[in-house]
Structure 1
Amino acid sequence: MNLRTPSLRSASSTLLLWGLALGVAGCSGCGDGAGGGGTDGGGSRDATQQDIGLPPAPDLGPDVVSSVIAFDNARGEPVRAVLATPTSAGPHPAVLVLHGSGGLYRMPEASDPGPCSPRLEAQFQRWAIRLVELGFVVLMPDSFGSRGFCDYNDDPRQADAYPPITGDTDGKTRRLLDRIYDADAATRLLAARADVDAGAIALLGFSNGASTAALYAHHRLPEALQEFAARSEAQALGVTIPALPGPVPALRQSIAYYPGCGFDGLLPFSTDSEDVDAFFYPAPPLQVLHASLDPLLDHCSITQTGTRELQADGYAAAQSAPDHYAITIYVGADHGFDAADCESPTAPMDPDTVACAAALDVTLGLLAPLLP
């Protein structure tokens, strides 16, 4: 039996993201006991700016304690990240924010010493401030800067990353593997922090980070990674694909803005019922926010090929599991619509700005139940 003909979907299918250690390179607004270090709840090691080239902490305003920290993923690769916390006492809910192909930081100017500018992309500065002001701890891994380049689309230094991340198909697979291991380590770090409510962690990803947020939510991710590792295609990549250090931490919600849902070969595409156990199915509820003009929509929605929506529906039906896959498609919008300034728009609004505002309402509505 093939699952190409799904049951009618609900309104969720509407058309319209060194050891779990902390090292603090800089801290903006740190008071006694506040900031990025000393509250991880696990073992720690010192990370210096020389270890991984940590930029200064971004200035996110007086109500946000910001720092740049470093930790290892399960492959032993150092990852730097921006940590932003409320000034009030915790524990707080947390959001892991995963950047897209454009990176977390802006491209450098001639006077900037690092691979990227020390200035965050405006999109992620807005999200950090917005979420912390609501009461969330925010962690934003810098998967590209940690590997010596800034922007996957425009930065030629990506060819010097290790393992090399090039623009071909294999390079995209390596990139998504990097992102998965980074997201896993970051999630475990959040869950171990004393100022975080480990039962109230969400993922929020954009573009390539959205693909990461969706894939990391997969109900059998540890097994899927090891199954991929045994394939000849994986061995040809020349990268290590170690087992994750234990079960994936429980997540309350995953939100994916305009992801690609093909997952670059890491999950099979079969929709045959005999393969149902391997179908993509998000363990936490997954909300996909997509654009009708975005070519990445293809495998995400049954309005097109819809592989992942079909798999999630098929798995839920076969296992009598909750419907955890929801997708909203904004008509007339294109990839990257969240880059629009939708908090203070001017009329008339173009489709991207309309989508940005509507998706913001959806996102904040989904995150609200995590707040105390």
Structure 2
Amino acid sequence: MARGRNSKGDKDEPETGSLEVGMLCKSSFNDNELDSYLRQGEIKASEKPPVPPQILWVGDCTIATFGNFSASTGKAKSKKTFNITAMVAAAVTNTTVLNYRASLPEGKRMILYFDTEQSKFHCHNVIERIYRLAGLSLNKEDKRIRFYGLREFTPSLRIALIDYALRTFEGVGLVIIDGLRDLMYDINNAKESTDVMTMLMAWTSKYNLHIHCVLHLNKNDNNTRGHIGTELENKAETVLIISKDKQDANISEVKPMHMRDKEFSSWAFYIDDNSLPVLDVGYHVTVVKPKDKPLTSLSDDVHTRVLQKVFGNEPPQKYIELVKALGASYAEEGYKRGDNAIKEMLKIFNERKLITKNKDGYHYHPAQPSQK
């Protein structure tokens, strides 16, 4: 059902409409506007606000409440959108799908899904997947969910469209923004990041709903992308991280990055032959070991033993053979490392002239003291 414009007619109230979007473009406000905003933000000891409804759980751990926003993050192709479809399917039907249990209250059952990245064809695949997971008929539109592809629009227009939808539709309880980064022009711009966070907080507060966003992780580490990622981690109710299992790329693990409520245990899903996410009931969480001690911090005696083993027989002729031999020798000493760590150590040996190369291959010079 469409929502009409506010018609209170109070002269002291600022004009309604896209007020939240408009305030981002303003640097000065008249007294009527300031008075209204100040009263809107006043907290009175005698007026206790209602406890925000919890709407989404993993097990008995709350991950979403009204008046807040959350996020899913992960590397490219980690199956973040597949994870979201299960979350939405659970919310549409107020049931458990995959490992998400949802309960949207009556009068707040509508879901708005905004995709900023994919083509219409791939967006259709997503909503079809939601329908199938929720057990809905593909021959009839379900009024509880509306899906919009905003790929071709500018960041400022995307924000305005989301704002317009929230002002237009009544009974919205959950909003998905698949592509938070696309609400801004520069992902590292502090002002834009603050503006986007401000919009999320304004929307969730004004319309008493929950917003779940999707944001990528950096390619080279496990940090959320850009200044917006830092802001998101600081202000979100829950941040989930979806990652491919290191032993099996067909399995995606879901674990909490940040939670205000108690954290749930990691779980995983895979994609079946029908292109639907399925809970991997036999999944065992891999215990993450403390960060390996860098080879550069090892004692000279360890490096000496390693080099003596490598060059004790026939010297390696090729670089790849030397890297492999060094790796095996460090592993025998109890320091199994990847090729990059070995190559970094080899670079240091070369700089110290502990290892040199001529037409006969690589040679070790033990007369020179080994250094870190």
Under a length normalisation based on structure 2, what TM-score does the superposition of the two structures give? 0.29
Larger radius of gyration: 2
